[in-house]
Amino acid sequence: MSAISWALPYSFIGLIVGLAVFMATLPSGTLLERFSGSFRPAFGIMSGVLIVLLSGALARRRNVSAPLAIASACAAFAVSLPHAANFPALATALGTSGLFLAMGLGIFAVDALALARRRFGSVPGTVAGALLPLAFALGLRALGISLTAELDGLISPLGNLGDSLSALLIITFVETLLWTVGIHGPALLAAVVLPVYIHLQLQNTEAFNHHQPLPHIVTVSTFLFIFPGGAGATLPLVLMLLRSRTKRDKRTALATLGPSLFNANEPLMFGLPVVLNPYLGVPFVVAPLVLAVVTWEAMNLGLVGRPVWYTPSTIPLPFSVFLATNKDWRAIPLAALNIVLAGLIYLPFVRLYARHRPAEDAE
């Protein structure tokens, strides 16, 4: 998990580069349409970067040859890739399932190498451990089993949930639960979920332009209300940590306050950390679920307008929700209420975390 926590943030370089390249090469469409269409293949690029970084980082922790571990993992990864006519098609077919594939094969390759060296000695163990992941991948291909297809089958139902409270709760739960173990849930599900909910967002925009009632509650911009400060609704957590008695937590809160205001909480997730934190994991998952119910009911009852426009999550509250709902002032009190509710949920867990923190620091 330490290796994954280190490798994942850097692997987003591959996602950014992939988005830029595929958006530039798409022949037509609006900026938003090209952005949505580029997400899945960009994750394919990110997967290739991730397996190199992860296998190298884990090899150093296992005291085995990093170049050999990277070569072994990449060979197995290459054999496991889906069939495709060209590189863009290959990256698209790989998609988000490539991240799971990269993590699984990266860990398998390094641990196989370390275990074989312990059991069979330096030279024969190194040879056996390096060839085992490749043999495993070749065996699955010979049996007609595609790891990417199997992983896609597990993720794809999330794209068919539609516009309902249950859909909102399931997506929120999966995203936050993945984050607690170091997997960037929103980014991982983006290629599956984002095209669907951007489409629903555009239907709301089209209905507004034709002076018709907005048909959907659950759109991309709905999550602005659910994730203040980023996934897990961590803005109140940062504000609480500003008053921490532990210098390290206070410094972390000061350093992450700026990004959190723009809903970028990756520095907090890996810096505090929230990832694999037994005290903060529960409110990290529970708080957004409560905010999802409150937001959905408020919009369903007409107390707050439904999202009209797609608004990037990097726009801070309350401006983001105000713009997304076409300048509905009622969105601001709802966002403020959600922050207070999230703070109340976090509060007992932050106190529990603070009581155990001095002992951990001493250790």
User: Averaged over 14-31, what is the pLDDT?
Assistant: 78
CA distances to 42, 50, 149, 168 from 17, in Å: 8, 13, 25, 30
Residue scoring higher pLDDT (147 or 363): 147
pLDDT at residue 131 is higher than 80: yes
3-state secondary structure 246-267: CHHHHHHHHHHHHHHHCCCCHH
Residue scoring higher pLDDT (238 or 190): 238
Mean pLDDT estimate for the chain = 83
Taking phi over 0 as left and psi of -120 to 50 as alpha, with beta for the rest, 31 belongs to: alpha
pLDDT at residue 190 is higher than 70: no
pLDDT at residue 361 is higher than 80: no
Q: For residue range 307-348, what is the model confidence (pLDDT) as tens digits?
A: 988 887 888 888 989 988 988 899 999 999 999 999 999 999
Radius of gyration for the alpha carbons in the chain, expressed in angstroms and rounded? 22
Residue scoring higher pLDDT (139 or 37): 139
Helical axes 97-120 vs 66-80, angle rounded to 10°: 130
Of all residues in the chain, the percent with pLDDT exceeding 90 is 19
pLDDT at residue 235 is higher than 60: yes
Cβ atoms of 329 and 322 within 8 Å: the answer is: yes
The pLDDT, as a whole number, for residue 192 is: 63
- Please, which pLDDT band fits residue 43 given cuts at 50, 70 and 90? confident
User: Averaged over 272-297, what is the pLDDT?
Assistant: 89
User: Averaged over 106-131, what is the pLDDT?
Assistant: 87
The pLDDT, as a whole number, for residue 52 is: 92
Nearest to 150 by CA among 197, 100, 185, 87: 100
Give the least confident one: 6-10, 105-109, 129-133: 6-10
In this structure, what are the phi and psi dihedrals at residue 37, rounded to the nearest 5 degrees? -70, -15
The pLDDT, as a whole number, for residue 127 is: 86
User: Averaged over 219-241, what is the pLDDT?
Assistant: 90
User: Averaged over 23-43, what is the pLDDT?
Assistant: 72
Q: For residue range 148-183, what is the model confidence (pLDDT) as tens digits?
A: 777 666 665 655 567 788 888 988 898 888 888 777
CA distances to 16, 38, 181, 232, 345 from 236, in Å: 29, 33, 21, 10, 10
**How many whole angstroms separate alpha carbon 8 and alpha carbon 182?**
8
In this structure, what are the phi and psi dihedrals at residue 356, rounded to the nearest 5 degrees? -90, -15
pLDDT at residue 239 is higher than 70: yes
User: Averaged over 273-289, what is the pLDDT?
Assistant: 88
Residue scoring higher pLDDT (282 or 199): 282
pLDDT at residue 288 is higher than 90: yes
The pLDDT, as a whole number, for residue 363 is: 47
Give long-range contacts, CB 8 A cutoff, 24+ apart: 243-252: 244/354, 244/357, 245/354, 246/354, 246/357, 246/358, 246/361, 248/361, 249/354, 249/357
Residue scoring higher pLDDT (218 or 202): 218
Regarding pTM above 0.75, the answer is no
Burial of 86 (0-12, 13-18, 19+ CB in 10 A): exposed
Of all residues in the chain, the percent with pLDDT exceeding 70 is 87
The pLDDT, as a whole number, for residue 331 is: 92
**How many whole angstroms separate alpha carbon 224 and alpha carbon 246?**
31
The pLDDT, as a whole number, for residue 362 is: 46
Give the least confident one: 45-59, 192-206, 324-338: 192-206
pLDDT at residue 215 is higher than 60: yes
**How many whole angstroms separate alpha carbon 39 and alpha carbon 91?**
10
Residue scoring higher pLDDT (151 or 354): 354
